[in-house]
Amino acid sequence: MDVGSGDAYARQLELSNLLSVKIQSVQSESKQLMHHLAKVKQQVKDATLQTMSGNCTTIDRVQFRSYRTLRGHFNKVLALSWHPDNRHLATAAQDGFLLYWDSVTGLKKGLIRLDDPYVICSDISPNGHMVATGGLENACIVYKLHSSQNAEIQQRNSIVSIFKGHKEYISDLSFVGNSQVLTSSGDKSILLWDMEKGTKSVTFNGHLGDVLGLSVCPTDSNLFVSCSSDRLSNLWDIRCPLNRRQFQISLTHDSSAVKFFPDGCSFACGTDDGELKLFDIRSDCELANYPVKMVHQHVRPHKTEELSISDSASSLRLSRKSSMVAALDNPGVLSIDFSRSGRLLFASYAEYSSIVVWDSVMGTVVGTMDGHRDAVSAIKVSPDGLGIATASRDHTSRIWSV
């Protein structure tokens, strides 16, 4: 190596060290500002939802029964979504298939062989004509949703669009109307895709860790919230690539699941230590806390099973995706959803095969939904609020009703 190249290397190293020092200084200053903002918010907050619920009627106990058990998958069912007709739903599992069900009869109405078998999330379009999936292949694939008794559906004829742009796995997705899809990823970004043009419209950058979940506002489809391993939750507007609001979910644990309240003014967020919190967008502060210690008093943990996939190629793929293994084996809150009124909050935890039913106002556990033999990956309340669907790692899905 000559003298000139040695000097250039030394200058590059010096600039790199200087940049690292500046980044650490800015990060330290940012943390101090966040702590200061948290103190100011704490001083302004004069009440919580629990302290203001003295005149509210208490709920003694809510009983849910398993109406149907949907059996047909041969591996962990990780995603499900309701059809807008409130009767049908789609489930996607690691066996490489998406099944379309009639929740009343429990019969399969169709299937799609997935182009990406390592699926994690799915969603049905508002018009019920398409279903989008995302997973380890870093792509969002939109399929035509068939309703047919003929199980031999051609995969090529089912694919509507394939959106590639993320550098890491897709952790969650949601339709925004019938022409746009939001996808969150382990590459720390969120992308908005245009179905008509077949390209991405907006890139949302603002998280410093894997984006693990998102939820579109039910009253204003321009707004959505996201949660991340940077322990923050961001409020976004699809018309602007910059986040409008930022919420500190936890100081020590990742934010793993997020869901908008039915009125669109609040959202719940869970962390990987099992804590659940409710935040209000208008007051910009925490409204309620649902502690995991209360869950321990009502539910017994199930025996945890190690992640095992027999296919050697799958094991190799998962070994390269260590962050995805962490997402699949999240030790805390796996999924949350609200009843149509918002009074009940349903939550699933990695340590329990039961779904815990919270009174979102009083902050108490008012019931459990028991029946699965392993952790529940996804909880979805039907659009009309009359049914609850759950997808589990025990290879089954269940339909619940009061």
> How deeply is 122 buried, as exposed, middle or buried, from its count of CB atoms within 10 A (0-12, 13-18, 19+)?
buried
Same domain, 279 and 372: yes
Confidence band (pLDDT; 50, 70, 90) for 147? low
Same domain, 127 and 163: yes
Same domain, 28 and 175: no
Whether 28 is in a domain gets the answer: yes
pLDDT at 26: 80
Same domain, 145 and 10: no
The residue among 310 and 368 whose pLDDT is bigger is 368
pLDDT at 145: 87
| Number of compact structural domains in the chain | 2
Confidence band (pLDDT; 50, 70, 90) for 131? very high
Average pLDDT over every residue of 307-313? 37
Q: Which residues contact 280 (CB under 8 A, 6 or more apart)?
A: 265, 266, 286, 287
Average pLDDT over every residue of 183-195? 95
The DSSP code sequence of 194-250 is ETTTTEEEEEEE--SS-EEEEEE-SS-TTEEEEEETTSEEEEEETTEEEEEEEEE--
pLDDT at 148: 52
Q: Is the pLDDT of residue 314 over 90?
A: no
Same domain, 12 and 153: no
Q: Is the pLDDT of residue 327 over 50?
A: no
Same domain, 146 and 13: no
Same domain, 32 and 144: no
* 348 backbone φψ class: left, alpha, beta (φ>0; ψ -120 to 50): beta
Same domain, 7 and 63: no
Same domain, 39 and 100: no
Whether 51 is in a domain gets the answer: no
User: Could you give the 3-state DSSP secondary structure of residue 24?
Assistant: helix
Confidence band (pLDDT; 50, 70, 90) for 312? very low
Confidence band (pLDDT; 50, 70, 90) for 136? very high
Which pairs count as long-range contacts for 302-309, CB under 8 Å and 24+ apart, including other chains? 302/351, 302/352, 302/353, 302/373, 302/374, 302/375, 304/350, 304/351, 305/374, 305/393, 309/75, 309/94
Same domain, 93 and 23: no
pLDDT at 49: 80
pLDDT tens for residues 386-397? 999 999 999 999
Q: Is the pLDDT of residue 252 over 60?
A: yes
Average pLDDT over every residue of 114-140? 92
Same domain, 385 and 265: yes
- The domain containing residue 99 runs over which residues? 58-401
We report the CATH number of the domain holding residue 358 as: 2.130.10.10
Same domain, 123 and 267: yes
Q: How high does pLDDT run on average in the chain?
A: 85
